């Protein structure tokens, strides 16, 4: 296994608040890596630093050796690192299929001239964008919902659509921010199956999750954040028995 993503001593301060304090972790290619921790531990802050929505105060983030820290979000996506959001952020008034087609933006190139002249090249590119988007919709189980408005989809389908949209950018690493929050047990199981299929398709997954059971069942390795620090990392079972983790979740004895 080779290291896909390396995070080294990343610190993020908001004014005097240390949201992240020298966090380091390594995600191996092909694994499902879980990031857990109590509310306010800094999980989403770390995601936002990794995906370019926040600049880091110190430290380095690299994807296959290429620096990602303090790059623009679109540069990071172009490198092959996509994400979803904790509070679903779809393009609500576009159709489901259009949402996924937007994800192809970074892997296509037609500009103004191409759009206006609409030559053979542009038409072929548009057809390919549409076809790929439809494939991805089918992959996440939304094959028949392409024409529906994104905001009209059921909650679980919106989560799936967000994943399809992120997949459209052809990520090697996909970061999912609480992808099963608010789902019932059946939906959670189905999402878990989707994650397995994604891994089989060659996408490395980085998962923020509250549902410890899902994380433990699914993830190869887990890191635990608390108050902006990494307090444990390792296999699911090992982390579960770590006294520091138990203290963080249940309060110090």
Token pair belonging to 23: 């966090």
Q: What residues make contact with another protein under the rule CB under 8 A?
A: 51-53, 72-74, 77-78, 82-83, 85, 89-94, 98, 101-112, 114-116, 118, 122, 125-126, 129, 144-145, 147-149, 151-152, 165-166, 168-169
For the bound state, the minimum distance from the C-beta of residue 120 to another protein, rounded and expressed in Å, comes to: 15
For the bound state, the minimum distance from the C-beta of residue 152 to another protein, rounded and expressed in Å, comes to: 5
**Minimum CB distance to another protein smaller for 91 or for 227:** 91
Q: What is the separation of C-alpha 38 from the centre of its chain, rounded to a whole number of angstroms? A: 19
For the bound state, the minimum distance from the C-beta of residue 115 to another protein, rounded and expressed in Å, comes to: 3
**Minimum CB distance to another protein smaller for 45 or for 224:** 45
Tokens 């878990």 appear where?
192
For the bound state, the minimum distance from the C-beta of residue 233 to another protein, rounded and expressed in Å, comes to: 26
**Minimum CB distance to another protein smaller for 93 or for 186:** 93
Phi, psi of 223 (to 5 degrees): -115, 145
Give the count of beta carbons closer than 10 Å to the beta carbon of residue 126: 17
For the bound state, the minimum distance from the C-beta of residue 193 to another protein, rounded and expressed in Å, comes to: 22
Token pair belonging to 152: 């009209």
> What are the start-end ranges of the H helices in the chain?
43-50, 73-79, 96-103, 112-117, 120-139, 155-167, 185-200, 212-218, 236-240, 243-250
For the bound state, the minimum distance from the C-beta of residue 103 to another protein, rounded and expressed in Å, comes to: 5
**Minimum CB distance to another protein smaller for 7 or for 90:** 90
Instruction: Round to whole Å and give the CA distance between 225 and 229.
Output: 5
**Minimum CB distance to another protein smaller for 179 or for 226:** 179
**Minimum CB distance to another protein smaller for 71 or for 221:** 71
Give the count of beta carbons closer than 10 Å to the beta carbon of residue 193: 12
Instruction: Round to whole Å and give the CA distance between 168 and 129.
Output: 9
């Amino acid at each position: 296994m080779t290291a896909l993503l390396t995070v080294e001593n990343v610190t993020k301060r908001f004014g005097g608040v240390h949201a992240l304090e020298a966090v380091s972790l390594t995600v191996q290619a092909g694994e499902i890596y879980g990031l857990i921790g109590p509310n306010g531990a800094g999980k989403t802050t770390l995601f936002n630093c990794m995906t370019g929505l926040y600049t880091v105060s110190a430290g380095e983030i690299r994807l296959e050796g290429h620096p990602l820290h303090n790059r623009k979000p679109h540069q990071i996506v172009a490198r092959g690192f996509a994400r979803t959001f904790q509070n679903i952020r779809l393009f609500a008034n576009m159709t489901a299929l259009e949402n996924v087609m937007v994800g192809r933006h970074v892997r296509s190139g037609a500009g103004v001239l191409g759009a206006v002249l609409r030559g053979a090249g542009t038409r072929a590119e548009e057809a390919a964008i549409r076809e790929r988007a439809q494939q991805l919709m089918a992959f996440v189980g939304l094959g028949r919902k392409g024409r529906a408005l994104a905001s009209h989809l059921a909650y679980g389908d919106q989560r799936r659509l967000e994943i399809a949209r992120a997949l459209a950018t052809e990520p090697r690493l996909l970061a999912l921010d609480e992808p099963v929050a608010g789902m019932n047990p059946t939906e959670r199981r189905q999402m878990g199956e989707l994650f397995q299929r994604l891994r089989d398709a060659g996408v490395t997954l980085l998962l923020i999750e509250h549902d410890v059971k899902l994380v433990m069942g699914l993830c190869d390795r887990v890191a635990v954040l608390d108050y902006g620090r990494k307090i444990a990392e390792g296999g699911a079972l090992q982390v579960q028995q770590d006294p520091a983790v138990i203290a963080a979740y249940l309060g110090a004895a």
